A and B are shown apart, each in its own frame.
Chain A
Amino acid sequence: MEWVNTIVQGILTGGLYAMFAAGLSLIFGVMRLVNIAHGDLIVLAAYVALVVTETLGINPLVSLAFVVPIMAIAGYVLQRTILNRTLGDDLLPPLLVTFGLSIIIQNALLEIFTADSRKLNAGPIETASIEVLPGISLGVLPLLQFVLAVAVIAAMQFLFYRTATGRAFRATSDDQPVSQLMGLDNRHVFALAMALSLAIVAIAGVLLAVRANFDPSIGPARLIFGFEAVIIGGLGSMWGTLAGGIILGVSQAIGAKIDPGWQLLAGHLVFLFILAIRPQGLFPKVQ
Chain B
Amino acid sequence: MASILTLDGISKRFGAIVIANDVDLAVKKGEALGIIGPNGAGKTTLFGVITGTVPPDSGCVTFDGRDVTRLPPDQRCRMGIARSFQIPQPFGGMTVFENLVVAAAFGQGRSEHDVYAQSHDILERCGLAAKANRPASSLTLLDRKRLELARALATAPQLLLLDEVAGGLTEHECEALVDLIRDIRKTGITIVWIEHIVHALLAVIDRLVVLHGGAFIAQGDPQEVIRSPQVNEIYMGIPADA
Contact = CB atoms under 8 A, between A and B. Distances in A.
Interface of A: 163-164, 167-168, 170-171, 173-175, 177-186, 285, 287
Nearest to B156: A183
Given A174-B92, A185-B74, A164 B137 contact: no
A164 B111 contact: yes
Contact of B94 (A163, A167, A183, A186): A167
Interface residues of B, number: 31
A249 B14 CA distance: 53
Interface of B: 51, 53, 72-75, 77-78, 82-83, 85, 89, 91-94, 98, 101-103, 105-109, 111-112, 135, 137, 151, 155
Interface centre among A167, A170, A175, A186 (most CB of B within 10 A): A167
25 contacts: A163-B112, A164-B101, A164-B105, A167-B112, A168-B106, A170-B91, A170-B94, A171-B94, A171-B102, A177-B73, A178-B89, A178-B91, A179-B91, A180-B72, A180-B74, A181-B53, A181-B77, A182-B155, A183-B103, A183-B108, A183-B109, A183-B155, A184-B74, A186-B74, A287-B93
A182 B92 CA distance: 15
Contact of A182 (B53, B75, B77): B77
A181 B83 contact: yes
Contact of B77 (A168, A183, A285, A287): A183
Contact of A167 (B51, B53, B101): B101
A174 B135 CA distance: 13
Given A164-B105, A183-B74, 11 more contacts: A164-B106, A170-B94, A179-B102, A180-B74, A181-B51, A182-B155, A183-B78, A184-B74, A184-B102, A184-B106, A185-B74
A264 to B, nearest CB: 35
B149 to A, nearest CB: 13
Contacts of B105: 164, 167
Please report whether the interface of chain B is mostly helix, strand, loop or mixed according to DSSP: helix
B224 to A, nearest CB: 34
A185 B52 CA distance: 13
Nearest to A236: B93
B107 A287 contact: no
A182 B151 contact: yes
B74 A287 contact: no
B91 A164 contact: no
Nearest to A178: B89
A13 B92 CA distance: 36
A287 B94 CA distance: 9
Contacts of B108: 183
Contacts of B77: 180-183
Nearest to A164: B112
B102 A168 contact: yes
A181 to B, nearest CB: 5
A175 B89 contact: yes
A53 B222 CA distance: 75
A186 B101 CA distance: 17
A186 B73 CA distance: 10
Contacts of B98: 167, 170
Contacts of A179: 91, 102
A80 B90 CA distance: 27
Given A181-B77, A181-B83, A174 B151 contact: no
Contacts of A163: 112
B68 to A, nearest CB: 14
A167 B51 CA distance: 22
Contacts of A173: 93
